[in-house]
Amino acid sequence: MKEALRKKYLKVILVLVLVFAALFISRLLYGNFSNTDTTHQNNVTHTGDTSGFVADVALRKNYATEKVLNNNGPSIVQSDQKYEKIADIISYTTFFDQKEKVLRNEIEKYQGLVQFENKFGNEGHRTLRLIVGVPPKNFDSIYQSLIQVGHTVSKQVTKNDKTNEYRELNAKRETLEKVKNALMELKSKGGTINDFIQLENRILEIEQELQMLGVNLGNFDTENEFCTVKIVLNEKNQIPLSQFDKIYSALGWTLTVYLKLLAILSLLMFLAHLTITSIQKLNNK
C-alpha cells in the first residue's frame, strides 16, 4: 500500500517537474528567437507629446460639419453643427524606417494631408511628429489603422463643438460690413482732409479685420473640411540580452506562470472535492 502511494506521489511530482520544464524551455526559446525584448522595452521612457507642436498656431484649423436634428416644438429642424475633431497618438518602434513608411502609406491611403512635419534625432533615437488633415469620413478608419503602427503608449480622440464660434464670426463679419458701408457713405459726403484720412484709416482697419475673418471662416468651408490626427513616433533601440539575462528572465516568467497554474489547479481540485462530498452526503440521506 505504501509502495503504491509512493509511486503515485512520484508520478505527480514528475508531471509537475515536466510541466515546469516545458514552460521554462518554451519561454527560453521564445526569448532567443523573438525579434523584440519586452523586458527591456517596457523599462524605456517613452517621450513625445502631441500637445507640444510648436507650429500649431500657424497651421490651418481643421473643422468639419455634421447634420443635427433638433426638436423645435411640434417640428424637427435639421441644422449644421460645426466641430473640431482631434486624435492624438504617441507610439514607439525599434523598426523606425519601416514604420515611418507604413505611416505615410496609411496617410495616403485615407487621403490625408500632411500639414506639419518635424523629424529629428540621431539614428536609434529619432522622433517623427506629424499633423495630418483627414477627410471626416476617413477619420475613424485612419485612427484605427495608425494605432496599430508601432507600440502605442498613448491615444485619445477629442471632439469640440465650434458651431457658436462659427456663428459669432459670421455675425462679426456682417457687423463690419455694415460699418464699412456706413463709412464709405460718409466718405462720399466730403469733409476736411483730416476727416478723409481718418475715414480711410478706419476703412483700411476694417478691411484688414474682414480679411482675417475671411481666413477664419474659410477654415469652416465645407469644401475643405478636415479632422486632425497628431502623431508622435519615437525610435527605441533594441537592447540585446546576454544568455544569462535570458535564462533569468525565462525563469522568472516560468515561476510566475507555474505558481498561477498550481493555484488554479488547487482551487479546481478543492471545488471538485467539495462537490463530490456534497453529492455523497445527499445520496446517504
Among 124-133, 144-153, 255-264, where is mean pLDDT lowest? 255-264
Report the pLDDT value the prediction gives residue 107, as an integer from 0 to 100: 94
111-130: per-residue pLDDT in tens?
A: 999 999 999 988 888 999 99
Radius of gyration for the alpha carbons in the chain, expressed in angstroms and rounded: 34
Going by C-alpha positions, the residue among 175, 160, 167 that lies closest to residue 228 is 160
Top-confidence range, 22-36, 38-52, 87-101, 228-242: 87-101
Contact call for residues 215 and 168 (beta carbons, < 8 A)? no
Going by C-alpha positions, the residue among 107, 65, 33, 87 that lies closest to residue 220 is 65
pTM above 0.95, yes or no: no
Tell whether the torsion through CA atoms of 140, 144, 150 and 154 is positive or negative.
positive
Provide the grid cell at 5. 502511494
Report the pLDDT value the prediction gives residue 249, as an integer from 0 to 100: 82
Helix ranges, the chain (H): 2-33, 38-41, 96-109, 139-146, 163-188, 193-218, 243-284
Examine the pLDDT at 109 and tell me if it is beyond 90: yes
Q: Which helix (H) or strand (E) holds 55?
A: none
Kindly report the length of the chain: 285
DSSP 61: P
More confidently predicted of 208 and 50: 208
Provide the grid cell at 1. 500500500
Buried b (16+ CB within 10 A) or exposed e, 2-11: eeeeeeeeee
CA gap 200, 205 in Å, rounded: 9
Provide the grid cell at 279. 453529492
* Longest Cα separation, the chain: 127
28-77: per-residue pLDDT in tens?
A: 777 666 544 444 444 344 455 555 554 444 567 888 888 776 666 566 65
* Average pLDDT value for residue range 194-201: 79
